[in-house]
Structure 1
Amino acid sequence: MQPLYKYRTLQNWKFVLDALLNSRLYAATFEDLNDPMEGLFKYEPSLVNEHILDELYNDKKKLKICSLSRTPTNDLMWSYYADGLRASVLRSNQGVASW
């Protein structure tokens, strides 16, 4: 399995310490993400009834996102999630069997 990487700013160093000490990563709800467009979906109103919409919204509230990368050297990830080059990247040796 290929290792995966989590970029973290050190401004929230307690999250980094927690990840290291407890071997876990934080997963955010869609509401907690910094991109308001993340998780939006489009649908054709004439094809979807209210019951289906309610189920979709309720299911979406249960989902959580953990952003990972296949490489520790992604400049875009460093700039967005790791305070430029002034932060950390955590490596997970667990990987994911199929991504």
Structure 2
Amino acid sequence: MTRFFTKLMNRYLPDAFVIAIILTMVTIALAVTLQGANLIEVTYFWGSGFWDLLEFAMQMAIVLLTGYVLAKAPIVDRVINAIISPIKKTFYCNCNCNIGRWYW
């Protein structure tokens, strides 16, 4: 059953780059029609905003990478396992259910 859905998504779901290009074109069309900006202005604003987004994305990538590397370091891994090992599965399940209820 999983193989069927995987083939279906691989066949009909476009690549992320294609989705990004389509959304860019839609955004440009909306900016030109609704805001009354010309194509040069829209291109300038789109390009200048991209670099701010890129800076934030790189910061988040560094946070994720350093967190992963730190968590997989042997010493830190042993400490995390020592902290987690006494927790029973029922306690873990109850905590997840309570946290889920709190967020909803």
TM-score tier after normalising by the smaller chain length: under 0.3
Q: Which has the higher contact order (CA 8 A, sep 6+)?
A: 1
Structure having the higher helix fraction is: 2
Structure having the higher strand fraction is: 1
Which TM-score applies when normalising by structure 1?
A: 0.23
Which one has a bigger Cα radius of gyration?
Answer: 2
Which TM-score applies when normalising by structure 2?
A: 0.22
